[in-house]
Amino acid sequence: MADKTTEKKVPVLKAQNLGIQFGGLKAVDDFNIEIGESELVGLIGPNGAGKTTVFNLITGVYKPTEGSFYLCGQRMNGKKTHQIVHAGIARTFQNIRLFKKMTVIDNVKAAMQEHLTYGLPQAIFRTPKYWREEADITKRAMELLDVVHLSGKENLEADNLPYGQQRRLEIARALATDMKLLLLDEPAAGMNPTETEELLEIIDYIRDTFKISVLLIEHDMSLVMKICERIQVLDFGTTIAAGTPAEVANNPRVIEAYLGKPRKEAAKDA
Ligand SMILES: Nc1ncnc2c1ncn2[C@@H]1O[C@H](COP(=O)(O)OP(=O)(O)OP(=O)(O)O)[C@@H](O)[C@H]1O
Ligand SMILES: [Mg+2]
């Protein structure tokens, strides 16, 4: 398997001086990051720090006003969201986005649709190829539901799942696209400690099993500290610290940003 060309490790995600301005506000400024294969990196910072904007930049929702980003060495600037998803970046949303009135399994299958190879005539006339692929995606969707501990819930309406399970369904939908990088935007928001613990296990399992890299936005510091190898901290759109969980936790600027001296004073010092 080892190929000479793969020995030189190209990062899965690389962002260089990435930035965006909304009117006069630099929502993200000079953002740099490198994430290697199977690495789990945390992106943290106070409300409005620019975390979701980073996700929106690297999924093509916003066009960067500065800088570049690369997926496995391929420049992604200017690509449309669906092209970026196709290239291998998948995400979940801070505000859950599911087809509420569809069943759990159909939510996952809908996310897989773009990977089907049968055409419209095959779907209309229900050819053998259609049924084969339909059986395949059902099986695959069931496997993904198992990964996020939702087996047995496949025929429920998504809307009827408790909040924590809806978040896990979002992850199954993200996994339905063959991704190299998974972006999770506050996946533990609204979860109780038991659900959060279960989520941690799922994220770890996904990373190990699918060999994908994960960039995780999360407010719960104790959670991020537990599973991330490295953490990057944003405040007012700029990176104020990056390093191991221990380094970041002891960084005075991080403590200040979180525990807050008055925000205006903090901005002056930056
Ligand atoms: N489309 C937009 N137009 C104008 N301003 C925006 C837009 N999107 C984000 N912003 C601003 O950019 C800044 C960063 O917002 P962002 O949502 O990225 O923060 P965040 O770190 O994800 O915060 P939270 O923890 O609350 O989710 C905020 O000041 C926000 O108001
Ligand atoms: Mg956000």
Q: For each successive 10 residues of the chain (270 residues), what is the average pLDDT?
A: 60 98 94 96 95 97 96 95 92 92 95 66 67 84 96 97 95 91 94 92 92 93 88 96 94 86 46
Same domain, 49 and 167: no
The structural domain count of the chain equals 2
Pull the structure tokens for residue 41: 């990196």
Q: How many Å lie between the centroid of ligand 1 and the Cα of residue 28?
A: 9
Note whether residue 189 is domain-resident: yes
Choose one of 20, 53, 65, 215 to mutate for the ligand 1 pocket test, by most ligand atoms within 8 angstroms of C-beta: 53
The dihedral through the CA atoms of 174, 142, 212, 205 has a sign that is positive
pLDDT for 270 equals 40
Instruction: Establish whether residue 52 lines the binding site of ligand 1, counting it when its CB lies within 6 angstroms of any ligand atom.
Output: yes
Q: Which residues of 248-270 are buried (b: 16+ CB within 10 A; e: fewer)?
A: bbebeebeebeeeeeeeebeeee
pLDDT for 8 equals 66
For ligand 1, what atom is nearest to the CA of residue 23?
A: 4
pLDDT for 151 equals 97
Same domain, 76 and 17: yes
pLDDT for 7 equals 57
Same domain, 185 and 249: yes
Which protein residue's CA is at the shortest distance from atom 1 of ligand 1? Answer: 22
Q: Are 67 and 17 in contact (CB under 8 A)?
A: yes
Note whether residue 93 is domain-resident: no
Which protein residue's CA is at the shortest distance from atom 28 of ligand 1? Answer: 48
pLDDT for 266 equals 42
Domain of 146 in residue numbering reads as: 101-173
Note whether residue 257 is domain-resident: yes
Q: Is 256 helix (H, G, I), strand (E, B) or coil?
A: helix
Q: How far apart are CA 82 and CA 70, in angstroms?
A: 16
